[in-house]
Amino acid sequence: MMITILLFAHLQETVGKDRIELPIEQLTVMELKTALKQTYPLLELDHVMTAVNEEFARDNSKVTAGDIVAFIPPVSGG
Amino acid sequence: MMITILLFAHLQETVGKDRIELPIEQLTVMELKTALKQTYPLLELDHVMTAVNEEFARDNSKVTAGDIVAFIPPVSGG
Amino acid sequence: MSNNLFEIVEEPIEINAIIKKVERREAGAITTFIGTVREWTRGKQTIYLEYQAYIPMAVKMLAKIGEEIGEKWPDTKIGITHRIGRLDISEIAVAIAVSSPHRKAAYEANEYAIERIKQIVPIWKKEHWSDGETWIGDQLENVPYESGRPNVKDVE
Amino acid sequence: MSNNLFEIVEEPIEINAIIKKVERREAGAITTFIGTVREWTRGKQTIYLEYQAYIPMAVKMLAKIGEEIGEKWPDTKIGITHRIGRLDISEIAVAIAVSSPHRKAAYEANEYAIERIKQIVPIWKKEHWSDGETWIGDQLENVPYESGRPNVKDVE
């Protein structure tokens, strides 16, 4: 099982793709951000919100294999 | 030359017509109201606004032959 | 519907036509207000409404409201159409559209317009209830006039 | 357009369709907000916009705004549609319609909805200016992110 990470807006352009799959069993949002920053130039991750399975989550929220994590930069709809 | 008086809403129904023409040269709005109350059952005239030539007017405004006077009960548009 | 920004009409109101009148490339926000005929008011059932207007003065007063708004919210553009005659439940009695570069002014100017319409525009509403009829005496709908002689038809 | 009250769409938005969704015989007031693509923002010219959304979550957040409004203004009914993809100047990006028995709630709930959309709904706007492109970083339009690698196309 994988954790799926969805990227949008400038994050997507920075990484060059719209999703990343990681073979991890469980970790926190904060640990996930740290892991991603080691692989990708995603310093902004410190400043974006996170959604787990389409609900906003905190840095200490747990992420488990099978979950979909989305990083939500400041929104600009409307 | 006549003064034309326009009636609307319940005033129109009370009098049974939508306009009255009076052969008067000049008078004030207040004098006109008093004159009308002698002929018609229009006691409410004390409580309605008056427009002379499509502009709101005061009780002491002058009305001259050729003018169009409208009595404006509290409005209920919208 | 014509291109006049301020109108009294007897036909059904097309909301898109009013919006079109105020659209501008520099405007990012358009608010509309649509006043429809409500079936129930404080437990009383309306069957239909009749609106009457002193038409030329009503148009003039709508334009005056437009001027007031132009002074208070200089970047806005507003269009107002009010319908008269017989209106059934859910039909549109009044439509107001305001465009503006930013949304705050579009909301404020729009709400100001409907408040002013209820104060200064010579239009009157006759409620035909399930149990009688009444000319509505003010915009708060709490000063009904007693019904005059029925069957005297509006001429305006 | 479907009958869902909260939608993310790729086609042009029909304002009448949104209004229809909230019409009710007991509602006398309907307010709408239409957000269009503005050509000029603080002296900068927009050529076109691109909106991207995290679609399932965006729909969920729009529905959440609807629930919040149902609690604050119990008599209202609201519909919100946001468009994504490429939008040209004057095209409709978002439309909000609120019906209510009385107008005050219809204005307030409508304005609340657009404020909340700009806070919690995962939708992002990329401005294509006459002199470059920028993902807009927040709803105040004053925190632009630096443009990423160009030509990496949005997939969502």
Q: Which of C68, D28, C131, C6 is nearest to B76 (CA)?
A: D28
Q: Looking at residue D138, what is its pLDDT?
A: 61
Rounded CA-CA distance D92/C29 in Å is 9
What digits encode the pLDDT tens for the residues C56-79? 999 999 999 999 999 999 999 999
Q: Looking at residue C3, what is its pLDDT?
A: 80
Which DSSP helix (H) or strand (E) runs through C15?
A: helix C15-22
Which DSSP helix (H) or strand (E) runs through C58?
A: helix C55-72
3-state secondary structure of C4: coil
Tokens of A18: 């719209």
Q: Looking at residue A46, what is its pLDDT?
A: 87
Tell me the chain D residues in contact with residue A14 when contact means C-beta distances shorter than 8 Å: 148-149
Q: Report domain extents, chain A.
A: 3-66
What is the rounded average pLDDT of the residues A27-42?
96
Tell if the CB–CB gap between B75 and C145 is shorter than 8 Å. Answer: no
The CATH label, of 1.10.287.70, 3.40.50.10440, 3.10.20.30, 3.40.1360.10, for the domain at B3-66 is: 3.10.20.30
The CATH label, of 3.90.1170.40, 3.40.462.40, 3.40.50.10190, 2.102.10.10, for the domain at C6-141 is: 3.90.1170.40
What letters, b where the CB count within 10 A reaches 16 and e where it falls short, cover C89-105?
beebbbbbbbbbbebeb
Which residues have C-beta within 8 Å of that of residue A9, sequence separation ≥ 6? A73, D52, D124, D126, D135, D145
Q: Which of C93, C15, C7 is nearest to C51 (CA)?
A: C93
Q: Looking at residue D147, what is its pLDDT?
A: 38
Measured between CA atoms, how close is C18 to chain B, in angstroms?
16
Statement: residue B59 has pLDDT above 90: yes
Statement: residue C1 has pLDDT above 60: no
What is the rounded average pLDDT of the residues C81-91?
97
Q: Which residues of B touch C (CB under 8 A)?
A: 6, 8-14, 16-19, 44, 51, 54-56, 70, 72-78
Question: Which of D33, D51, D76, D96 to substitute to test the interface with C, most C CBs within 10 Å?
Answer: D33
Mean pLDDT of chain B: 96
Statement: residue B24 has pLDDT above 70: yes
Tell me the chain D residues in contact with residue A54 when contact means C-beta distances shorter than 8 Å: 54, 56-57, 60
Q: Report domain extents, chain C.
A: 6-141
Statement: residue C50 has pLDDT above 50: yes
Tell if the CB–CB gap between D34 and C39 is shorter than 8 Å. Answer: no
Statement: residue B2 has pLDDT above 60: yes
pLDDT tens, chain D, 156 aa long: 578 999 999 999 999 999 999 999 999 999 999 999 999 888 899 999 999 999 999 999 999 999 999 999 999 999 999 999 999 999 999 999 999 999 999 999 999 999 999 999 999 999 999 999 999 976 544 444 443 322 223 222
What is the rounded average pLDDT of the residues A33-50?
93
Q: Looking at residue C138, what is its pLDDT?
A: 61
Percent of chain B with pLDDT over 90: 94
Are B50 and B57 within 8 A, CB to CB? yes
pLDDT band at B1 (very low <50, low <70, confident <90, very high): confident
Measured between CA atoms, how close is B11 to chain C, in angstroms?
8
pTM of the complete model = 0.90
